[in-house]
Structure 1
Amino acid sequence: MDHRAGNPAGLRERTRRAVQAEIVSTAMRLFLEHGFEATTMEQIANEIGISRRSLFRYFGSKEDIVLGDHAEHGEALRTALEARPPGEPPWEALRAALKALYDSLPYSPEDFLKITSMLHASPSLRAHQWEKRQQWTDLLVPDIVRRLGATRDPMSELRARALAACALACLEAATDAWVRSGGTIDMEWAFDEAVAAARG
Structure 2
Amino acid sequence: MSESRRPSLRERTRHAVREQIAEAALIMFDEQGFEETTVDQIAAAVDISPRSFFRYFAAKEDVVLGDPMIHGEPVRAALAEHVETMPLWDALRASFDSIVRITEADPVGTLRATRVMISTPTLRARNTEKHLAWMLVLVPIVEDTLTGTEDDRGYRARAITLAALNCLDVTSAEWVHRNGAVGNGALLDEAFALLKPAVLAD
Shared fold (TM-score greater than 0.5)? yes
1:88–1:108 CA distance, 2 compared to 1 (3 A)? same
Pairwise CA RMSD of aligned residues? 3.0
Q: How far 1:197 sits from its partner (Å)?
A: 7.6
TM-superposed deviation, 1:23? 2.3
Contact 1:78 1:139 in 2 (8 A): yes
Counterpart CA distance in 2 for 1:112 and 1:11 is 26
User: Residue 166 of structure 1: which of 159, 163, 166 is its match?
Assistant: 163
**Which residue pairs with 1:119 in the alignment?**
117
In 2, distance between residues paired with 1:73 and 1:67?
10
Structure 1 residues 124-163: aligned runs within 5 Å: 124-148=122-146, 153-163=150-160
**Native 8 Å contact 1:86 1:147 kept in 2:** no
Deviation string, structure 1 residues 68-114 (Cα, Å, up to 9, x no partner): 15321111111221221514222110011113431244643344333
Alpha-carbon separation, structure 2, partners of 1:198 and 1:184? 28
Answer yes or no: is the 8 Å Cα contact 1:78–1:140 preserved in 2. yes
Higher RCO, 1 vs 2 (CA within 8 Å, ≥6 residues apart): 2
Q: Where in structure 2 are the equivalents of 1:37-186 lying within 5 Å? A: 37-105=35-103, 107-148=105-146, 153-185=150-182, 186=186
The 1:193/1:176 distance shift into structure 2, 3 A limit, reads farther
Gaps (5+ residues) in structure 1? Answer: 2-9
CA distance in 2, matches of 1:12, 1:183: 35
CA contact (8 A) 1:80 1:101 kept: no
> How many residue pairs were aligned?
191
Q: What one-letter code is carried by the residue in structure 1 that aligns with 2:169?
A: E
Q: How far apart are the structure 2 equivalents of 1:28 and 1:112?
A: 10
Contact 1:178/1:187, CA 8 A, preserved across alignment: yes
| Equivalent position amino acid for 1:192 in 2 | F
Moved more, 152-161 or 62-71: 152-161
Q: Which of 34, 51, 57 matches 1:36?
A: 34
Give the share of equivalent positions with the same residue, in percent. 39
TM-score by length of 1: 0.77
Q: Any conservation in 2 of the 1:90–1:148 contact (CA below 8 Å)?
A: no
Structure 2-normalised TM-score? 0.77
1:187 to 2:192 alignment: no
Q: Tell me the distance in 2 between the aligned counterparts of 1:190 and 1:65.
A: 30
